Structure 1
Amino acid sequence: MDSQIDEINYSDEEIAVLAHGFVSEDWIGVGRSFDHRNGVVQAAFARHMQVPARLSNSVPTLAISPSAAAAAFVSGHWSCVDAPFDNVESHAFLDHPPNLDLEVHDILEIRVPSVHVLQLLHGYAGQAWLDGRQSVRVWHDGQNTWLLCPFWILTAMSNIHQIRLSGWAEGWAWINRVEITATAAGRILCNLARRYMQLLPACVGPADENDLTYQKLALLLGHHDLDGSVLDNLLHISWASLPESRQERIIFANTLFSQSLAEGAHRYPSSLGGQVLRHYGALLQGTPHCELLLFPINIGNFHWTSGKIDIQARVIHYGDSLLPHGSGHPPDPLRPNLVEWLQRVLPGGEFVWQTDLQCPTQRDGWNCALITANILAHEGIGARLWDMALGDELRLYGFCKLCENLLIPGPERSNDPFSSRLESPSFTRVSAQLLGQAAEADEAAEAVVSDELQHTHDALPLLCPQENNEDSVPSSNNSDSNCVERRTYSHPRLEFAIDRSGGLLVPVNPPS
């Protein structure tokens, strides 16, 4: 048992780092009884709860109730240090001190141990506390083993940064990078992103109720691979930017299209992938003037590439931003499966692959999804390919666009989910309500942003529709004829319906 317990020991240096000024003598015996927290310990709690000045304006003002926090903690919806918090029996945290009187600030300070450590302590330890050597000692009373010790004693109270501030911290650091704010367009976008980050947590609801929460949008700002839902939404912005006369000629397929083909779902019509392919097959067969089907391809869950099907020429064009132009080939089994599926849906001449899709060279490890979105936008709507020097700025632009989609409330969202501008009157109203700002001040700021964007439009080529009326701000009743028509789209789930107008899948009943 000793060898198992050793893995959760902390050195003096580790404790000092984790506790932000830990003094071992002040903590000897703390945790042996439920109410043993002296003044020094309380002061450490207060220091740990202080929000860094650079983040103070980004932390939401809406307080979480203690009952809601406790429920989230017990149910395992909060992050852990090194493993999902999903296998610990809930009775270990219910009906016994100290959990009965935990305050919300105490819970938010908890650094949750890994599942393995929690199970080990629950099975072998029961009561535990820190002694002068900062090692975890155990107490065992035979059959009655309960994990009654405060978790913050075991783990030095550092999980607040993982639970509450990680999304804001990452996004905040990213939008303040020098290479982003160096241009006029970057400064405008950074200001908008700061405002969105203030509003978004209060608007989008709990993480399990919204597919694009602020945490996921914060990933869009960081040096991370983007998942399929973000890429799907960026592609839908491309489709919504098409003139209405072109929307039936060009199909932007979502990420499930190539995934389903790679899994061989065309041979299993009743599977989810089979339904996805049946949907796109019906679109191709029911649209005689369809010219292109554009789709992203995921390779090994670490890289995105691009595909374009020229229906009339019966050619499948492929491009990879990590390889020289004309080199490489699509992954198997996608390559033969796509040809087989196309021959079945559109019988006639043979479809052939060509590795000639123009791609900018990728010089980092995280912008492949954004490159893919922009390549497909270029092929579909004619937007020019962008220089990699603008990659970070374009990520910020995509962040603002997706944020605005989430922030448009009520009927406006269903009628007008993707804005042709970075700001909208609905955003002004929400910001005035939540931040206590005067509506007049927001409208004035919006007018300034609109005017400045007029001069920086060329610096933002990604999915940025051309507009003729540069002085007007789109009205809430969508009467501005120059606004790009927009339609509702959500990332496809297990239950979905077919939206023929956009060539996309939409959920029928989002999971609870």
Structure 2
Amino acid sequence: MGQETAFKISDYIGKGMSISTAPRRLCEMAKEEFTVPQQFQFELFPSPMLPLAKMPDFTVPLECTTIGATQPAQYFSRTAPDHVDQNAILRLRRLPIPEAKVIRKLVECSRQGWLDGNQSVMYSHLSESVVTHFPLWVLTYWSLILDFKRDVRAYWVRSLDWVAKKKKTSRKNPARVALVEETMHILSMLPWGWAKPPGLSDSEPAHNLWRFLGPHWLAGSQQNDMLELLRHKVDSNPELAKKFRIQGVALAAKILEAHNAGSETYRSSQSFRWIRDIADDLVRNEAALISTAHLGKINDKPHWIGLVFDFSQPTATIRYGDSFGEPMPAQLLAACRWWIAQHSEAHLMLEDLPIGAQSDGFSCGMLVDNSLQHFVDSQVLLSVPGLSFVNARLEAFKKIAKWTLERLEVARALATLEDEDSDDRSDHLTATPVISISSDSDCDSAHDPRRTCPSLPHGKALVRC
């Protein structure tokens, strides 16, 4: 056999090749060109340990809204990039970035632009007499900063304003003032990029908790977190633990999937094993299964409802709570009865789950949580019309954030024990740095110069030009 032909990048760069047909090794080289160097990441982006209260103070570039260069070809250059020193880093943090649609175009064409022979990128949207040629990874920086500004920072500026406003308008309500002040103390400590620890529903970053602080609809992660808090309460009381079971928002969706798959597939497929085990335990121990369900896949409405399978009473019952007072959808009812019929001969009766009435477009999740808490513990008062959920939102945020902070303290203590000589150990507590670059080098798929991390939102994959 002859020796392998030596790989020469000059055989590919500027030769009119498409990135979609480029060899894997070339893809790896392209990935490196769009990687933000490690030594610049903590200078260009906020540290994952930056407290949420300090989020608005972190300097990020403005987005240029004036009409300027709009085509990718106007930004790319075949000139080698200038040396990146501290002065260049300061300029990157302060110079306005292109408008969003221009950045998206550049990101889509970035790998192909490199393969066509471009070595640097310019701030062509600005009118400057001196042109600086920046490395190609600046495109990644622009894109990530854009996501950070819109998907993280903007929400927290608004949420922090909401908390401050509640402090001013609640002076005649000492209990709320105390709760707001405690929330503000927590915000001054909770790192924005710290992932939620075990004991909560998932490992999403702390900055996604913004939905609790304001008149916002809650997503599945927040609903699951409140169910986990309810689980903590149930598990800490032997009597409650014997009677109640708690499951997350995935339960109803899985029941619907099983119903559509049919009995034979349900009984044999490993993917349904967890809900088979849940049903067996429910029937065997005559317990009450508590969950929250989303109606989106049933009636295309972004609405949360409360769902209880109650075998703790003489008559097995489904309890359904809708804050708009709507009846249980026939599709969901049929699937729930079918699911239980695979494990019991009991015919499930249908009853209303007591729940407060909703008068806005975003409080369904809080009303469901209140309803389920009341079902478990009658000492929890059921919401009445006109009752503000400000305190409930602050309480939910406080409990989740304190759980996270307590585990952060444990992580810091363990880190200190493992490496007492490290002066900056706390800067390395997260699993990944604030900015990470994708390890995917498959040229047959869309290219993404970013890897998701616990601090930044998921980025869109690059599309080949």
Which bin holds the TM-score, normalised by the shorter protein? Answer: 0.5 to 0.7
The code of the aligned residue for 1:227 comes to A
Whole-angstrom CA distance in 2 between matches of 1:152 and 1:248: 53
The code of the aligned residue for 2:349 comes to V
| CA displacement, residues 221-257 of structure 1 (integer Å, 9 cap, x when unaligned) | 1332212222122122223223222212111221111
Partner of 1:199: 189
Partner of 1:168: 156
Partner of 1:492: none
Partner of 1:274: 272
Does 2:304 match 1:304? yes
Partner of 1:397: 395
Partner of 2:176: 186
Partner of 1:263: 257
Question: 1:177 deviation in Å?
Answer: 2.8
The code of the aligned residue for 2:217 comes to D
Task: Tell me: CA distance 1:299–1:205, structure 2 relative to 1, closer, same or farther (3 Å).
Answer: closer
Whole-angstrom CA distance in 1 between matches of 2:78 and 2:279: 53
Does the 8 Å contact 2:196/2:206 carry over to 1? no
Task: Tell me: CA distance 1:319–1:154, structure 2 relative to 1, closer, same or farther (3 Å).
Answer: closer
TM-score normalised according to structure 1 size: 0.52
The code of the aligned residue for 2:224 comes to D
| CA displacement, residues 103-132 of structure 1 (integer Å, 9 cap, x when unaligned) | 277258646734642257656897672477
Whole-angstrom CA distance in 2 between matches of 1:361 and 1:392: 16
| CA displacement, residues 358-412 of structure 1 (integer Å, 9 cap, x when unaligned) | 2211111111111111101111122221234231221111100110110113797
Structure 2: 5+ residue stretches without partners:
1-44, 66-71, 129-133, 412-425, 427-452, 455-465
Does 2:221 match 1:229? yes
Whole-angstrom CA distance in 1 between matches of 2:202 and 2:339: 33
| CA displacement, residues 160-207 of structure 1 (integer Å, 9 cap, x when unaligned) | 743763343122112123455652122111111112112111682599
Whole-angstrom CA distance in 1 between matches of 2:397 and 2:330: 33
The code of the aligned residue for 1:200 comes to L
Task: Tell me: CA distance 1:285–1:185, structure 2 relative to 1, closer, same or farther (3 Å).
Answer: same
Question: 1:95 deviation in Å?
Answer: 11
Whole-angstrom CA distance in 2 between matches of 1:194 and 1:261: 41
Does the 8 Å contact 1:239/1:252 carry over to 2? yes
Partner of 1:363: 359
Does 2:249 match 1:252? no
Does 2:333 match 1:349? no
1:103 aligns with one of 78, 89, 97: 89
| CA displacement, residues 135-184 of structure 1 (integer Å, 9 cap, x when unaligned) | xxxxxxxxxxx9969769999x9877437633431221121234556521
- Look up the SS of the partner of 1:302 in the other structure: coil
Partner of 2:368: 372
Question: 1:340 deviation in Å?
Answer: 0.7
Partner of 1:129: 124
The code of the aligned residue for 1:113 comes to A
Partner of 2:22: none
Task: Tell me: CA distance 1:271–1:197, structure 2 relative to 1, closer, same or farther (3 Å).
Answer: farther
| CA displacement, residues 9-57 of structure 1 (integer Å, 9 cap, x when unaligned) | xxxxxxxxxxxxxxxxxxxxxxxxxxxxxxxxxxxxxxxx9xxxxx999
- Look up the SS of the partner of 2:306 in the other structure: strand
Structure 1: 5+ residue stretches without partners:
1-48, 50-54, 70-78, 82-87, 135-145, 414-433, 435-510
- Look up the SS of the partner of 2:388 in the other structure: helix
The code of the aligned residue for 1:256 comes to A
Task: Tell me: CA distance 1:197–1:318, structure 2 relative to 1, closer, same or farther (3 Å).
Answer: same
Whole-angstrom CA distance in 1 between matches of 2:177 and 2:124: 50
Does 2:320 match 1:318? yes
Whole-angstrom CA distance in 1 between matches of 2:243 and 2:186: 35
- Look up the SS of the partner of 2:216 in the other structure: coil
Whole-angstrom CA distance in 2 between matches of 1:403 and 1:252: 21
Question: Identical aligned pairs, as a percentage?
Answer: 17
Does the 8 Å contact 1:306/1:376 carry over to 2? yes
Does the 8 Å contact 1:318/1:330 carry over to 2? yes
